[in-house]
Amino acid sequence: MLTNTIYQEVQKRTLEFLNQAGIILSESEQEAVEVADFGLDQLDTQGLQLITYINNDHYCAKELVLFPNQTCPEHKHPPINNIVGKTETFRCRFGKVYLYVEGEETVNRKATVPEASKEYYTVFHEIELNPGDQYTIPPNTLHWFQASEEGAVISEFSTTSRDEYDIFTDPTIKRIPEIK
What is the SS3 assignment for 72-84? EEEEECCCECCEC
pLDDT band at 48 (very low <50, low <70, confident <90, very high): very high
Give the per-residue pLDDT at 179: 78
pLDDT category of residue 148 using cuts at 50, 70 and 90 = very high
Express the helix, strand and coil content of the chain in percent, nearest 5 each: 15, 40, 45
Residues 6+ apart with CB under 8 A from 121: 73, 74, 100, 113, 114, 144, 169
The percentage of residues in the chain with a pLDDT greater than 90, rounded to a whole number, is: 93
Domain range annotation of the chain: 4-168
**What pTM, to 2 d.p., does this model score?**
0.96
Q: Which amino acid is at 2?
A: L
What confidence tens digit (pLDDT) does each residue in 108-119 have? 999 999 999 999
| Max CA pair span of the chain | 44
pLDDT digits (tens, 9 = 90+) for 53-81: 999 999 999 999 999 999 999 999 999 99
Candidate CATH numbers 2.60.120.10, 2.40.30.200, 2.40.30.10, 2.60.260.20; the one for domain 4-168: 2.60.120.10
